[in-house]
Chain A
Amino acid sequence: MAIAVSQPQAPARRARRNSPMYRAWQRYRKNWFAVAGLIWVIIFFIIGIIGPWIAPYSYTYADFLHMHSGPSWQHWFGTDTVGYDVFSQILYSIRYALEIALGATCVSFLIGVILGLWAGLAGGLIDIIVMRAVDFMFALPSFFFALILMVLLGKGIFPMILAIGVPGWAGYARLIRSLVLAMRNGEMVEAARALGASQWHIARKYMFPNVMGSMVVSLAFGIPYDLTAQAGLSIVGMGLNPPMPSFGNMLAQAGANILGFPWLLYFPAGVFAITLLSFLFVADGLQEAFNPKGGV
């Protein structure tokens, strides 16, 4: 018998220990990079929330007496060409970067889920139209799309969320559609129908729990992508206007001053790179953890 009945007094606890969620966490925990990434991501989120309160200077405060100064006790990460404190700038940037990246990912995801579900469940002509639209989106560089949208919408946080989020739906739509298609004709759904379950019951209790893992993983990969897109837009001058702090603005400025004031590059680029890596490690870890064939 494959079932160990050693602890009959606490079978409910045993069930929890064997639940797919718990086992996923067990697998996740074994991946050191993913755990380290998760810790940094959590710190990053906390900074995003409380950053403005712990920043030593306002992002509009320019210390004219200490322009281009290197790292010191006064300015931990140095100051830039107009005397802005780089450390404070980074703290503020994290908040805006997160707002935009999370917002954009949500927008992409929402559009993607709606269109993907629609295509997968309706099938036929709707499916064909949506999938050709997906092909179209994949054929065009989405960064180019974002640039056009920025021009149309003007600058600001909300336009940026839309500019990055709207072109990003195609990947999600394709994923959701394929998941729905695979399950719609699968035996699990057929069995549920044979039991007499309604469409809604099947979607809620059978389909959703089984696609949740894949959706979380794709979201986790989407956030670092949108973070890069957001910085990229600022680097080409289509992001937030200075003095609104953003990683892109800082990196663009640092690039121009790389010879004389390298700390302008080191600190923002370092924080940004670690952040991107952390998000990717988390996404990787999640993917491994949710892979249903990932062993125990």
Chain B
Amino acid sequence: MSSEVLLEVHEVSKRFRVQGRDLHAVEKVSFQLQRGQTFGLVGESGSGKSTLGRLVLKLLEATEGRIVYQGKDITRFTQKQMRPLRQEMQIIFQDPMASMSPRMTIGMAIEDAMIIHRIGTKEERQKRVDELLERVGLPREVKWAYPHELSGGQLQRVGIARALSLRPKLVICDEPISALDVSIQVQVIQLLRELQQDYDLTYIFISHNLAVVEYLSDVVAVLYLGEVVEQAPAEELFSRPTHPYTQVLIQSILKMPRSLEERQVLTPIQGEIPSPFDPPKGCPFHPRCPMAVDRCRTTKPERRLIGPNHAVACHLAT
């Protein structure tokens, strides 16, 4: 694995103005992504993980911060300037059905990506569609089908094929498996993994499924209310979770017990995620934190390193 930095996100924030109030979707998130790596983003719904993915792709404009792609600062790029770059950065959506036009055949949908970037002649594009479908494990006839004729798993493979058609370097997987049946989830994960190795892809893998993130990611960031509360290499994070939020998240993963005696004690997280309109003072997690002390309610913990590459935002972490 080369150590070439592909993407650098520096103190990026996104606030939405909703009816005169500021919604803090993403707050000062920073990370670096090396080529060929997978960066896992976990968090509950509403934690800003999808927003962050869209900020990187510039489908949304960041309010603050810098996004540097291959040494180019793309933060202030216009949509027009972004267009050529879009070949290199693609996205796989959670709901493949919603992301496709019901009036285009699968073949047309994949080909359209290449048409947009004026790649190849019609025959070449058709050939490429066939190759791509085969690569993602679909029969060639799917090309003539309409989205409504395919199952969720098949459609997600089409979504992957469409993203790959432009030979991207960076692929953002926005909960690509959470809408699929469990049996198909595994197949899609395997596929994503194979493709990463074959094409030297860099992933940002967004999910609320911790087990999947653990399996796929090199580095994991845990988002809470738009802030990274803990970020570490995957092994480190899952073996030594330091932030109380990460700890409860990991404890709430359901595992198959080997026997009835081993049945897991589930510890649900107390309460709901607070409103992103007015995040709590002090540590954003303190209202739900089992270990909160007075300091957590008044001062916001800064992110600090507690080990090599292991950053955490908690007063109590050591």
Contact = CB atoms under 8 A, between A and B. Distances in A.
Interface of A: 1-3, 5, 8, 11-12, 14-15, 18-20, 186-188, 190-198, 201, 205-206, 209-210, 292
Nearest to B114: A195
B113 interface: yes
Given A20-B103, A190-B59, A196-B84, A3 B139 contact: yes
A193 B54 CA distance: 11
Given A2-B149, A190-B59, 15 more contacts: A1-B154, A20-B103, A190-B54, A191-B91, A191-B99, A191-B100, A194-B59, A195-B112, A195-B113, A195-B116, A195-B162, A195-B166, A196-B82, A196-B83, A205-B101
A210 B116 contact: no
19 contacts: A1-B139, A5-B139, A5-B141, A11-B143, A11-B144, A15-B105, A187-B93, A188-B101, A191-B91, A191-B100, A194-B90, A195-B162, A196-B82, A196-B83, A198-B83, A198-B116, A206-B101, A209-B101, A210-B101
B144 A188 contact: no
A188 B113 contact: no
Which DSSP category, helix, strand, loop or mixed, fits chain B's interface? loop
B99 A188 contact: yes
Contacts of B112: 192, 195, 197, 205
Interface string B84-96: 1011001101010
Interface of B: 54, 57, 59, 79, 82-84, 86-87, 90-91, 93, 95, 98-105, 112-113, 116-117, 139, 141-146, 149-151, 154, 162, 166
Nearest to B94: A187
A18 to B, nearest CB: 6
A-B interface, 6 closest residue pairs, ranked by CB to CB distance from nearest: A196-B86, A15-B144, A191-B99, A187-B98, A209-B103, A11-B144
A292 B102 contact: yes
Given A188-B98, A194-B86, A210 B103 contact: yes
Nearest to A6: B141
B210 to A, nearest CB: 25
A65 B141 CA distance: 74
Contacts of B154: 1-3
Contacts of B146: 15, 18-20
